[in-house]
Structure 1
């Protein structure tokens, strides 16, 4: 497994990028050179320099420091959305695949209803109904992300539930719930886990998109999508105000996608 990862330069690149992002989030107070919300009108719209590595925005806030602290917000949203939606989707998919019958039909029809809408449009609707905030964006994205895990886990469970080790557990008198949580789910969770690693980047991108249109983080929060949104009116005069937050989003999504692709190749060789 380790050898296969070492032989994949793109996987190593993804792991390095993700590690740098995590380190940046943890040590943001040390790495940042300024207070990310401090307004200094005397320094507004200054270009990149030794004092302000990425320049300043329309009210003189240091863009480099805001991007560094924004790493915390983006990682928080990505991790929490996956940590909420992944268990929900996994449990529902396992129940649907293992028990079958009417329960399977109810769960999968509910899943199909959610999947029939474009995810970002559904998340926009939920976030707009709840009100603009990071917490509501988190809930909106979690509410639209679980159906994917449900379908993946259900498919895995259907291929496993008649396996010999499951039949052996039944023969030994294990009750259905013990079989489901002790035998079925641990053996069916790998494909969904790989998908979860890929989804971290997509969740961060979706959260930035919702903040960009005003449904997520609100000023003066140093969230990357909100920074891009506030820089729209000054992009002709201050290219750096939009460029560096955009690069931060690009690097983060790229890192998680490369890492997820590498884990898929390592843990599921059939997908190669």
Structure 2
């Protein structure tokens, strides 16, 4: 290992530790950072009738240790944590640890069932490639991977639970109660895993060793097993991130199906300002993410073996998902027409005589529980959501470009960021600054940069190693000139295009926080909030839930097809450039 590589690894490790300590400090200081007075919360929980006098509040502060200052509070919390004491709930007065353990057991059972669904779906997507040696998971798997868990959970509840009555829609009593939540969690993860493996397999099956094994008479099953072993090590970190995604997605799924898991516990604690219970739940969710990432790294090392652990093994280039340009254009047109039509209407006009009206000429998508026009709220909600997502994209781009020049720092911080799903960070931010659009945007921004930063770091390394920069240094060009005139322009444009492709995904993340009550607040016409509000009367007026659900599905489809089309154009452009270079005369 070179000196530079050792230095990068050391910086990444130190950054990883500092970021983890910072996250733990934020969790430990929640009672101090919270915008509400914890003493008042405890007083109201203990006795709603007692007057909030100064003496009563001061007594509670002394009881909780809040009058000793933030450092003392953090020290006492850390000392209790090392002893396995998570404190006492401010609302119920009971020990926090049993509640956290009980919720964690339910969530682990749900996640295990979801992982089984994901692996089964991944096998179905990968099997045709192993049998025929060709094919791809394609756009179908990519679409499944892009569907948000909260949206799939709502649709499953509406169709399988309400309309068809096949399965129970809430609670956690028997195995049948696990089916719909596990499907809602496992299908997107299975689509992601299946697509990753199925898209990488064709290139591996074209390698020379496969042809030699076939010529030697090795049976197909053994070749398939060896190909999977070749494919899996570079993809294991992605599998770990998919498992971490199950942690975040479980929060929304548990809320939709009223599952008493750790995610629903954390969300309920944040809403009631029960900060000791929230601290314990957040620690449990954070531990799940970190343990999952560590297990993924361990599995990768075991699959590689001692000879290849430091070799940087990577897969051959995968074949991109192809899509016709008409698909993203059609989806964009449908969304644009619906949004433009809705913007011409008043999203806040209340007509109690038209409550839960079915779609008609006067209300093309019906009305909600207050008689407000669903189409109007859909249009105005899209405008605000897309605007917020664009601001998040811009901030993520700036962070990525900055960290692209600090690869060690970026790698260490990215490990912690990838272990924290947006929902968990959204709960933390909401506990500190309160729920709202700004808090949701901050939560998504804090986690939106790792992929962009990795892209920027790779481009910076490539540009710095190019021959024309060596020539610039040789003629005495100053570093600032090289940075602003050559490096930044070469890096910023591709990373900006990458950030733009992530815009629909960021909008979906904001919608998921709105759905959980962590983003925009009523009466704002935000898509996730619209879907959450419509759940109360989904049996009487399913169109109120279907409208934002279909819009979010179209947005997910636009994210997938737009990215696939852009990737296909890039591959075509690179191939044309290579062909021109190959056919050009030697002297040119």
| TM-score bracket, shorter-length normalisation | 0.7 to 0.9
Contact 1:198-1:257 within 8 A present in 2 as well? no
Q: Structure 2 CA distance, aligned partners of 1:180 and 1:268?
A: 28
Gap runs ≥5 in structure 2:
1-321, 576-588
Specify the SS of the correspondent of 2:502. helix
1:222 paired residue number: 525
Q: Structure 2 CA distance, aligned partners of 1:80 and 1:26?
A: 21
Within 5 Å, which residues of 2 pair with 1:49-198?
Answer: 49-93=360-404, 95-96=405-406, 104-189=407-492, 191-198=494-501
CA deviations on 1:81-126 (whole Å, 9 max, x unpaired) are: 1011112212221x22xxxxxxx43343223322232344334433
Contact 1:208-1:225 within 8 A present in 2 as well? yes
1:12 lines up with 2:326 in the alignment: yes
Q: Structure 2 CA distance, aligned partners of 1:204 and 1:238?
A: 25
Cα 1:192/1:221, change in 2 over 3 Å = same
Over the residues paired in the alignment, what is the CA RMSD in angstroms?
2.3
Q: Structure 1 CA distance, aligned partners of 2:338 and 2:374?
A: 15
How far apart are 1:189 and its partner, in Å?
3.9
Q: Structure 2 CA distance, aligned partners of 1:114 and 1:81?
A: 16
CA deviations on 1:188-228 (whole Å, 9 max, x unpaired) are: 34553343233111111111110001011111111110001
2:61 paired residue number: none
Contact 1:18-1:256 within 8 A present in 2 as well? no
Moved more, 214-223 or 149-158: 149-158
Contact 1:21-1:71 within 8 A present in 2 as well? no
Q: Structure 2 CA distance, aligned partners of 1:110 and 1:177?
A: 27
Q: Structure 2 CA distance, aligned partners of 1:173 and 1:127?
A: 52
Q: Structure 2 CA distance, aligned partners of 1:132 and 1:73?
A: 16
Q: Structure 1 CA distance, aligned partners of 2:443 and 2:477?
A: 38
Specify the SS of the correspondent of 2:356. coil
How far apart are 1:23 and its partner, in Å?
6.5
Cα 1:90/1:120, change in 2 over 3 Å = farther
Cα 1:9/1:128, change in 2 over 3 Å = same
1:241 paired residue number: 544
Contact 2:338-2:375 within 8 A present in 1 as well? no
Cα 1:250/1:116, change in 2 over 3 Å = same
TM-score, structure 2 as length reference: 0.40
CA deviations on 1:13-45 (whole Å, 9 max, x unpaired) are: 213433554576567543x3xx21111111101
Moved more, 199-208 or 83-92: 83-92
Q: Structure 1 CA distance, aligned partners of 2:457 and 2:493?
A: 12
1:3 paired residue number: none
Cα 1:257/1:216, change in 2 over 3 Å = same
Bigger radius of gyration: 2
Moved more, 180-189 or 155-164: 180-189
Q: Structure 1 CA distance, aligned partners of 2:513 and 2:544?
A: 19
1:41 paired residue number: 352
Q: Which ranges of 4 or more aligned residues in structure 1 deviate by more than 6 Å?
A: none
Q: Structure 1 CA distance, aligned partners of 2:543 and 2:341?
A: 24
Contact 1:204-1:253 within 8 A present in 2 as well? no
Q: Structure 2 CA distance, aligned partners of 1:83 and 1:27?
A: 28
Q: Structure 1 CA distance, aligned partners of 2:556 and 2:477?
A: 43
Contact 2:435-2:517 within 8 A present in 1 as well? yes
How far apart are 1:238 and its partner, in Å?
0.6
Q: Structure 2 CA distance, aligned partners of 1:28 and 1:50?
A: 13
Cα 1:81/1:256, change in 2 over 3 Å = same
Q: Structure 2 CA distance, aligned partners of 1:260 and 1:16?
A: 15
Contact 1:11-1:261 within 8 A present in 2 as well? no
TM-score, structure 1 as length reference: 0.84
1:4 paired residue number: none
Q: Structure 2 CA distance, aligned partners of 1:206 and 1:136?
A: 13
Q: 1:231 aligns with which of 528, 531, 534?
A: 534
Q: Structure 2 CA distance, aligned partners of 1:183 and 1:71?
A: 38
Q: Structure 1 CA distance, aligned partners of 2:476 and 2:381?
A: 52
